[in-house]
Amino acid sequence: MSRYQLRCRGCQQTYPAQDLHTCAACLGPLEVVYAPMGAAELRIAIERGPRSLWRYAPLLPVDGELPDEAIGLTPLVHARRLGAELGLARLYLKNDTVNPSFSFKDRVVAVAAQKAKEFGYDTIACASTGNLAGAVAAAAARHGLRAVVFVPSTVEPAKLVAPLAYGATLVEVDGTYDEVNRLVAQVAEDRRWAFVNFTLRPYYVEGSKTLLFEAAEQLGWRLPDAVVIPIASGAMYVNTGKAARELVEFGIVAPQRLRIFGAQPAGCAPVAEAFASGAERYAPVRTPRTIAHSLAIGAPADGNAALALARATEASIVASDDDAIRDAILRVARSEGIFVEPAGGVTVAALVQLARSGALARDAVVVVYLTGNGFKTPDAVDTSGARRVRVAPRLDAFDAALPERDLVEVA
Ligand SMILES: Cc1ncc(COP(=O)(O)O)c(C=O)c1O
Ligand SMILES: [Zn+2]
């Protein structure tokens, strides 16, 4: 076989890598599988590669010349202060808020845009809960493609500014994300556009493996003991399992148990609810109600696969309500200086629950994915309790307004 091919997740039928997303035999979803590679050469190739996600190109379904893009290879921060609060000595935050369009979606779009060009498309498109729209628009601008992005009209306004600035055509749909998705499936029938998270999905999801590849390399080529990952469609969650399997299969990390925990907002938690009830399949949420708009997918494409993966790795999928999400945003901002959007709040809130319940050992290597930037969602945090004074431009006014004794010590 060539370096990689497509394989059906249902009936295992294989296909040469082509512009295809469902199995012709059973309509099951397709995934990319790679031919065997030598561990030593692979590791050397990665370590000599560019300082971006493209260093993992041998484990990605792309051909030809790679673009010079500063996507990925984001910091893995040893969170000592947050870890001390939670009783975790080896807690790490994968800070994906600092990607070019300020979410992890730049990774999946990087791979999909590359495929769109290989397949000869001139337009890339997506159904988005907000962040993907920005990532697709930015990639289109870089590659000289057209972008058409579809979002529910409830998306936070700040998330629509960037796609418009990048020059995308924005389609705001009065409906839920699942309704946007259904519309996009119809549009895809008669427009020859590359829908990154639909028609190019087998390639797109491969980009989300790169967070774990990086974390493993940043830990000195080892898997963590646990990861905590936000779930919307479940693609990043499920493909973290695939990333771990590939690292072990290709011999670049030692096999070990990796528990893959999931995080959802309580107002749209179909997978967490199914996990809690012991169900094998989730029940869709018709009307999501949460401040975590980027995770508000009521019928996640990879929801049932996520459920199976949580159980197979002896982990769990945790739901947190909006108050806990807001608290968690401030907690990680104030302990580690990282400002996350609600998806990050959902993940940190799940971490807090897991740490309190004793699910994570004190010395376990725990990696938490922070996938979106808080500057895109300023209305999601409540800073009304924070210290803030307004003064005349005179020292006496300042001293009166803010005496030194009023300032509390940092913990
Ligand atoms: C910031 C952020 N984190 C996580 C996710 C979850 O992604 P997935 O659909 O792969 O579950 C999304 C999806 O939109 C997102 O915007
Ligand atoms: Zn099949």
Give, using CA atoms, the residue closest to atom 4 of ligand 1: 230
Percentage above 90 pLDDT, the chain: 95
Q: Edge-to-edge, what's the strand order for the sheet holding 259-265?
A: 76-78, 90-95, 365-370, 226-230, 259-265, 317-320
Using one digit for the tens of pLDDT, what is the confidence trace for 239-263?
Answer: 999 999 999 999 999 999 999 999 9
Give, using CA atoms, the residue closest to atom 9 of ligand 1: 233
Would the CB of 103 count as within 6 Å of ligand 1? yes
**pLDDT higher than threshold 70 for residue 231:** yes
Q: Which ligand is nearest to the CA of 13?
A: 2
394 Cα: distance to centroid of ligand 1 (angstroms): 48
Using one digit for the tens of pLDDT, what is the confidence trace for 22-36?
Answer: 999 999 999 999 999
132 domain residue, yes or no: no
Distance CA 53, CA 46 (A): 10
Would the CB of 232 count as within 6 Å of ligand 1? yes
185 domain residue, yes or no: no
Whether the Cβ atoms of residue 345 and residue 377 lie closer than 8 Å to each other? no
Q: Would you state the pLDDT for residue 410?
A: 55
- Ranges of beta strands (E only) in 245-288 are 259-265
For the chain, helix, strand, coil in percent to 5 are 45, 15, 40
Total number of domains constituting the chain: 1
Distance CA 235, CA 159 (A): 21
**pLDDT higher than threshold 90 for residue 121:** yes
22 domain residue, yes or no: no
Q: Which ligand is nearest to the CA of 228?
A: 1
Would the CB of 320 count as within 6 Å of ligand 1? no
227 domain residue, yes or no: yes
Pick the atom of ligand 1 nearest to 197's CA: 9
**pLDDT higher than threshold 60 for residue 125:** yes
What average pLDDT does this structure show over 336-358?
Answer: 98
- What is the dihedral angle through the alpha carbons of 47, 50, 52, 55, rounded to the nearest 10 degrees? -50
122 domain residue, yes or no: no
Q: Which ligand is nearest to the CA of 24?
A: 2
Range of the domain at 289: 76-102+206-380
Whether the Cβ atoms of residue 137 and residue 158 lie closer than 8 Å to each other? no
Q: In angstroms, what CA-CA distances link 309 with 88, 125, 347?
A: 24, 29, 17
Whether the Cβ atoms of residue 155 and residue 127 lie closer than 8 Å to each other? no
214 domain residue, yes or no: yes
Integer-rounded Cα radius of gyration of the chain: 21
137 Cα: distance to centroid of ligand 1 (angstroms): 17
**Mean pLDDT estimate for the chain:** 96
Distance CA 369, CA 261 (A): 11
Would the CB of 346 count as within 6 Å of ligand 1? no
Q: Would you state the pLDDT for residue 64?
A: 85
360 domain residue, yes or no: yes
Q: Would you state the pLDDT for residue 386?
A: 86
Q: Which of 107, 108, 131 to mutate to test the pocket of ligand 1 (most atoms within 8 A of CB)?
A: 131
Would the CB of 233 count as within 6 Å of ligand 1? yes
Q: Per residue in 359-370, is it b (16+ CB within 10 Å) or e — as a string?
A: bbeeeebbbbbb
Percentage above 70 pLDDT, the chain: 99
Q: In angstroms, what CA-CA distances link 25 with 31, 189, 197, 202?
A: 15, 19, 22, 17
Distance CA 310, CA 132 (A): 25
Range with the poorest average pLDDT among 157-166, 260-269, 377-386 = 377-386
CB atoms within 10 A of CB 93: 29
CATH code at 91?
A: 3.40.50.1100
Whether the Cβ atoms of residue 66 and residue 54 lie closer than 8 Å to each other? yes
Whether the Cβ atoms of residue 247 and residue 218 lie closer than 8 Å to each other? no
Would you place residue 341 in the very low, low, confident or very high pLDDT band (cuts 50, 70, 90)?
very high
Pick the atom of ligand 1 nearest to 231's CA: 11
Range with the poorest average pLDDT among 157-171, 228-242, 266-280, 394-408 = 394-408
Instruction: Name residue 229's beta-bridge partners.
Output: 262
Would the CB of 347 count as within 6 Å of ligand 1? no
**pLDDT higher than threshold 60 for residue 179:** yes
331 domain residue, yes or no: yes
